[in-house]
Amino acid sequence: MSRHTFVFSSTALRSLELEREAVERENVHKRWQSHCVKLRRRGEVPELGKKQRELHRPLLCEDRLIHNALYTGDSERVRCFFSRGTVVDVVIEASGNELQWTSQKLGIWSLCYKQEFTCPLQITASRGYATSLQHLLSCGAEVDFAPGGKTALHEACENAQAECVRLLLSYEANPNALSEDGYTPLHLCSSSESLQCAKHLLAFGGHVNSRTEDKDDTPLHIAARFGLEEHVELYLGYGASINRMNDCGQTPLHCVCAQSHSHEDAERYYRVCKLLIEKGASVMVLEEEQQSALHLACRTANYRMVDLLLHKGIDVNRMDYGGNAPMHKALQAVAYKLEHQPERTIRSLLNYGSIRIWPGAIPKVLRYCSRSPRTIEVLINVYDRIKVTDAWMEAVPLKVLQEHQEFYDSLFALSQTPRCLQHLARCAIRSHFEGRCQEVVPYLPLPAVLRDYLLLRFQDFVN
């Protein structure tokens, strides 16, 4: 019955309001009990008797003044609301970042932000309100209270609040507590700003080789995936296992090579890759799809990473389960990674003895890679003779043809003109070295310009 249908007295309205609040509190308690059951199954919460369950039943705080004081870091008002002897470990419902379908009144479903549990300790720790956090802890707040599945320590690490992390640990917060998703606080140190948080955790006994429940990642896997060089160095200094595999068979080296990143971050990811290899990471390990680190680096088009792996002797022509060699992975990435200069990756692969593209597939390559003329140039320059057909011209979009007119004019002119003598000599020398060009050519007693030419220097035309 709607309150707008009939005229209700103020007493009746208050009674309805109290009934609604009671139902909401009961729903919170039910969801909280369901959460505790999950934790007990993992052995993190002891089984409680009936009387104990009543005593441990969390209180739902709906006071907006308290919420406002906590979320704004108003330490004076926090002191007023929470003092010694008052209940500090209250539960607060907050809107999360995830959307979900929720049934509203009159049977209407709507897309709302998922309601999540939090508490005063988590709110202040996640926002870096160290003064308020200190007061709550001194008032007896349970330091590992986790109504939403994460402790305050998880929240502080996720938001890189180093002072709050230190404070929580000094009050004996568990540095190895598992969140509902199976992450320790160390797994949530996933930004460059969180380095000090990671140092505090390790100093207080955090396990450097702990694993996540979903992917079996160690903190080193996560640091490598986010390109965090200082974190990687820190974890290795504490004995992190450098070649441990996650549930996909990936080592930290696979993680750094596989992670897509911007052109601006390419140098940072290269340094992490180099650090891992210098510290003993194996370049020969294959993940579950039989991909090597080279397959993954070619897909992200980080040419410096590719050069490093090739220099370390990784197999340039190994096929994965899908029948793809690193060259195939590199070509598949060209159209999406133009800012990474994918032609450099292609050139390195060819100089280290990669298989060449079957001439019959060149029209397809032109269709997908024509926006990178230098990629086409280096692929064509490993043949001493090749038949240019009408299919080549039809494969290049008109807009691309107009944008790179000079290069494609020189390419299509090969249909009527043989390759120049200089190019034929280059092909003969490269064939003689049989895939060892990058190892041998730099030491030949030739002018630097000729050595560069033998190693497929870009000219922006073909002849």
What is d(CA 193, CA 128) in angstroms, rounded to the nearest whole number?
A: 13
Q: Select the CATH number that applies to the domain covering 208-355 from these four: 3.90.650.10, 3.40.640.10, 1.25.40.20, 3.30.70.20.
A: 1.25.40.20
What is d(CA 124, CA 118) in angstroms, rounded to the nearest whole number?
A: 10
Categorize the per-residue pLDDT at 2 as very low, low, confident or very high, splitting at 50, 70 and 90.
very low
What is d(CA 143, CA 117) in angstroms, rounded to the nearest whole number?
A: 16
Residue 53's alpha-carbon distances to 35, 141, 252, in angstroms, are: 13, 18, 43
What six digits make up the tokens of 358? Answer: 């079957």
Mean pLDDT confidence for 317-324: 95
End-to-end Cα spacing for the chain: 85
To the nearest 10 degrees (0 to 180), the angle between helices 303-311 and 266-278 is 20
Categorize the per-residue pLDDT at 205 as very low, low, confident or very high, splitting at 50, 70 and 90.
very high
Categorize the per-residue pLDDT at 59 as very low, low, confident or very high, splitting at 50, 70 and 90.
confident
pTM here?
0.83
Sign of the Cα pseudo-torsion (296, 297, 301, 307, in order): negative
Calculated CA dihedral for residues 201, 206, 209, 215, nearest 10 degrees: -80
Mean pLDDT confidence for 297-315: 97
User: Residue 279 gets which letter from DSSP?
Assistant: T
CB 128, CB 196: distance < 8 Å: no
Q: Which fold has domain 59-98+111-189?
A: 1.25.40
pLDDT at 49: 42
What six digits make up the tokens of 272? Answer: 């992490």
Number of H helices, E strands in the chain: 25, 2
What is d(CA 153, CA 136) in angstroms, rounded to the nearest whole number?
A: 14
How many CB atoms lie under 10 A from the CB of residue 208? 19
Q: Identity (one letter) of the amino acid at 422?
A: Q
Mean pLDDT value across the chain: 88
pLDDT(58) > 80? no
Mean pLDDT confidence for 98-113: 56
What is d(CA 34, CA 361) in angstroms, rounded to the nearest whole number?
A: 58
pLDDT(167) > 90? yes
pLDDT digits (tens, 9 = 90+) for 414-438: 998 899 999 999 999 999 998 899 9
pLDDT(16) > 80? no
Closest CA to 262 of 346, 336, 332: 336
Opening angle at CA 324, ends 320 and 330, nearest 5: 120
pLDDT at 46: 45
- Give percent of the chain with pLDDT exceeding 90: 74
CB 65, CB 32: distance < 8 Å: no
What is d(CA 176, CA 188) in angstroms, rounded to the nearest whole number?
A: 12
Categorize the per-residue pLDDT at 17 as very low, low, confident or very high, splitting at 50, 70 and 90.
low
Phi, psi at 60, each rounded to 5°? -90, 125
pLDDT at 282: 96
CB 130, CB 164: distance < 8 Å: yes
Phi, psi at 29, each rounded to 5°? -65, -40
CB 109, CB 103: distance < 8 Å: yes
What is d(CA 132, CA 138) in angstroms, rounded to the nearest whole number?
A: 10
pLDDT at 434: 86
pLDDT at 63: 84
pLDDT(29) > 60? no
What is d(CA 72, CA 277) in angstroms, rounded to the nearest whole number?
A: 46
Residue 296's alpha-carbon distances to 172, 280, 281, 289, 334, in angstroms, are: 42, 19, 15, 11, 14
What is d(CA 396, CA 412) in angstroms, rounded to the nearest whole number?
A: 11
- With tokens 């309001």, the residue in question is 17
What is d(CA 29, CA 25) in angstroms, rounded to the nearest whole number?
A: 6
Calculated CA dihedral for residues 332, 334, 339, 341, nearest 10 degrees: 120
Sign of the Cα pseudo-torsion (36, 37, 39, 40, in order): positive
Closest CA to 118 of 98, 89, 147: 147
CB 59, CB 91: distance < 8 Å: yes
- Chain-centroid distance of CA 150 in Å reads 20
Categorize the per-residue pLDDT at 4 as very low, low, confident or very high, splitting at 50, 70 and 90.
very low
Mean pLDDT is lowest, of 51-65, 80-94, 164-178, 354-368, for: 51-65
pLDDT at 64: 87
What is d(CA 203, CA 221) in angstroms, rounded to the nearest whole number?
A: 20
pLDDT digits (tens, 9 = 90+) for 272-291: 999 999 999 999 999 999 99
pLDDT digits (tens, 9 = 90+) for 236-281: 999 999 999 999 999 999 999 999 999 999 999 999 999 999 999 9
Mean pLDDT confidence for 195-215: 97
Cross-strand partners of 113:
99
